[in-house]
Every structure is written in structure tokens, then in C-alpha cells.
Amino acid sequence: STPVTLDNLAALKAQREPIVSLTAYDAGFARLAEAAGIEVVLVGDSLGMVLHGEADTLGVTMADMAYHTRLVRRGLTDTLLVADLPYQSYTSAGQALANARQLVAAGADVVKLEGGAVMVDTVVQLSRAGIAVCGHLGLQPQSIRELGGFRIQGRDSESAARIHADAVALEEAGAQLLVLECVPPQLAADIRAAVRMPVIGIGAGGDCDGQVLVLQDVLGISEYQPRFARNFLTGRDSIQAALAAYVAAVKAREFPPPAAD
Ligand code: KIV
Ligand code: NA
């Protein structure tokens, strides 16, 4: 097989074929994700919660992210690897560039950061330096203290318009991929149609260019299973079968279900 590239993902968007993404934090699960046909593996800072047992992602460090990115890289041959810049690691464009370079050195193909208009300068600089950027809008877990909890974003027209404008601003700055977390399905659909970059949704309804879930949620072993997630191990006898079922359900647009919106 041939490596998945950002151009391939853009082609999938153009063909309206859903892109399937999953988090992984080590080589073993990364290998299983690739074997199941996952196109994008995300080394998410969700590892602070699902691996470290913290209540949020704020304690995750660059050392953590570089370490897990190295592990995941060893498990992948062809899958695109996206790694999160953690909390407080991109407070200036210069700091972002230095830390993004560390993640690339650890094996990331793309680095992900949270935030819209305020991140434009940073995204421009990373892009100019040849580092591919994935944005992350809607529910931004690194802003959980400001948000006051894990809840849906963009419900009123003012905040929906801001998220929409943020997505356009990120694309204009050079972002090539976008994660949209916990926004109303109609907002995700509008943004998906308005930008060229593929939009990967999580808790954002079915009209996205792709879906992403946290590995532990797919396997039903998280401490707190989000309402929008699904345990794909239920009724199956292996992790491999569960991951294959997740891929098949997203490709068939059976997940997320319309009713879960
Ligand atoms: O950290 C993570 O796992 C993420 C996904 C939930 C998109 O950012
Ligand atoms: Na994250």
C-alpha cells in the first residue's frame, strides 16, 4: 500500500468518501489501527485523561507528546500521523515552531493546535516553515477552565458565526485539516462546505468529511464515555474486529447515527 497524504485526504473529501481517524498512543494500537484501515492516527493530548487518569488535558507536556508520537510512529507504515501540541506549548509563534519541530522530529506528519483567529499568525509561521497544521475548533479541551466544562459549542448564532469565521481564517493561514469537536451538526455541515480542507468531526454529526474518536471510547474502556461515542467492541470478540467495525460504520455513514445528533 502507499502512504496516506494530505492530498489523498483532500481527494476523499472531493469524492465525499468519509475519512476515518482514531487516536493511538503506542506502537501496538497504532499497528492495529493501520491494519483496520484507519487513515489518520491522532496522538491526542487526550492521553492525559485516558492514559494518565487526569480529569482534563492540561497537565500533558511536550515530553509526553514527543514520547507517545515516537511510539506511534513505530507502529505505522502508511497512515498519516497527527500529533497534538499540548497546553501552553504554543503561546507564541516562536514557541509553537520550536515545539512543532520536536513533534515532527518524533514522527508527526501534521501538528494539531486548538484555537481560531488568535492562532492565525502561528499557523502562518508553521506553514511557512513547511510544517502541516491541523486546526481544532468547537469544544477546545485546553480551554476547559474558560468553557466551564465539556459541553457543546456554537449553539447560538453569534458563537456559531465565530467558529465558522475561525475555520475560514485557519484555512487562509495555511491549515490543511480541521477537527471540529462538539458543535451542532448543521454548523459542522456549513463549515465543511465552506472550506477546502477536510473537516474531521467528533460529536459534530454525520455531515463532516471524516470522523475521529478516542481509542478507549471505541473499546468501551474509558472512565467517562462521551454521549456521542460508541463502544464498537460490544458484540465482537476482538479489538481488531471492533476497529474494523468502526472503520466500516464511518465509511458507510452509519456512524454517527442521525439520532445521536
Ligand atoms: O486529544 C484528542 O484525542 C483529540 C481528539 C478528541 C480530536 O484532540
Ligand atoms: Na486533543
CA atoms within 13 A on the CB side of 72: 33
pLDDT classification of 259: cutoffs 50, 70, 90:
low
Q: Which of 50, 89, 47 is nearest to 67 (CA)?
A: 47
Phi, psi for 153 (deg, rounded to 5): -115, 155
Atom of ligand 1 nearest to the CA of 23: 3
Task: Give pLDDT tens digits for 117-133.
Answer: 999 999 999 999 999 99
Report which protein residue has its CA nearest ligand 1's atom 3. Answer: 44
C-alpha of residue 23 to centroid of ligand 2, in Å: 9
End-to-end CA distance of the chain: 35
Residue 129's SS3 state is coil
- At 85, the amino acid letter reads L
Q: Is the pLDDT of residue 1 over 90?
A: no
Ligand 2: centre distance to CA 214 (Å)? 10
Q: Which residues 6+ apart lie within 8 Å of 201 measured at CB?
A: 179, 180, 181, 188, 208, 210, 211, 212, 256
Q: Domain boundaries in the chain?
A: 6-260
> Does the C-beta of 212 come closer than 6 Å to ligand 1?
yes
Average pLDDT of the segment spanning 204-212: 98
Task: Establish whether residue 142 lines the binding site of ligand 1, counting it when its CB lies within 6 angstroms of any ligand atom.
Answer: no
Tell me, what's the pLDDT at 260? 47
Which protein residue has the closest C-alpha to ligand 1 atom 2?
A: 44
Any idea which fold 6-260 has? TIM Barrel (3.20.20)
pTM (predicted TM-score): 0.98
